């Protein structure tokens, strides 16, 4: 339902014939929907910012978290449109993108990608093996709770690789999921109301001249 609402707001820009009296109500309804969606976005974003932490590092206090996840300036937000990696490199941008994917019911893609990034940094063979098994059961195997959309051949290869886990177990699958997000979800994120709102420069109020 949320996804349908999002798409309706995003793409409803074609000219329409409006009968007298209905145009104003239609515009009010559209604006109300946009405000509701932006509020919902901010709620999700707040959740991801509060629950984001670097793997392997202790969680910081509220003050440090607020400093780490400061809302970007319009110029900083605009940099995210230059490359997908620019978006992922920003903690605020990553949280915003996760919130967007959640609204599209495909957050498993970014969660898998993040799990793979953490997995590749693991040094202990014992931890590598346990993490490989968890990633497989969470994202790869049939009927997994967060099953990602990859081909059967890749799934079979991963099942074989995790028997003797190495840091490259999920490389092929991670690249495919990255490509899927870059070519599909990322362009839609850049067109979203939430991202466009971040890129808006604040209006400078001017005081009326005295007569």
* Average pLDDT along the chain, 211 residues, taken 10 residues at a time: 41 43 61 60 60 44 52 94 96 94 92 97 93 97 95 94 93 96 96 91 61 51
Q: Could you give the CA distance from residue 209 to residue 56 in angstroms, rounded to a whole number?
A: 58
Domains of the chain, with CATH numbers? 70-199 (1.10.167.10)
Q: Could you give the CA distance from residue 101 to residue 107 in angstroms, rounded to a whole number?
A: 5
Predicted TM-score (pTM) of the model is 0.69
Note the pLDDT of residue 201: 83
Note the pLDDT of residue 62: 46
Note the pLDDT of residue 15: 41
> Are residues 91 and 69 in contact, defined by beta-carbon separation less than 8 angstroms?
yes
């Amino acid at each position: 339902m949320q996804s349908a609402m999002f798409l309706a707001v995003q793409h409803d820009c074609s000219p329409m014939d409006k009968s007298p009296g209905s145009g104003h109500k239609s515009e009010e309804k559209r604006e109300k929907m946009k405000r509701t969606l932006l509020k919902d976005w901010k709620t999700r974003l707040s959740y991801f910012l509060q629950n984001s932490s670097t793997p392997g590092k202790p969680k910081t206090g509220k003050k440090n978290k607020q400093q780490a996840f400061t809302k970007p300036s319009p110029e900083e937000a605009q940099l995210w449109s230059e490359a997908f990696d620019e978006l992922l490199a920003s903690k605020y941008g990553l949280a915003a993108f996760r919130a967007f994917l959640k609204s599209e019911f495909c957050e498993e893609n970014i969660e898998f990608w993040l799990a793979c990034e953490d997995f590749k940094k693991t040094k202990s063979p014992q931890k590598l093996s346990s993490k490989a098994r968890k990633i497989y059961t969470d994202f790869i195997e049939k009927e997994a709770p967060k099953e990602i959309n990859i081909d059967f051949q890749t799934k079979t290869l991963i099942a074989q690789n995790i028997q003797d886990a190495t840091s490259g177990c999920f490389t092929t699958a991670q690249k495919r999921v990255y490509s899927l997000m870059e070519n599909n979800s990322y362009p839609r994120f850049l067109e979203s109301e939430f991202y466009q709102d971040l890129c808006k420069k604040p209006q400078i109020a001017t005081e009326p001249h005295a007569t």
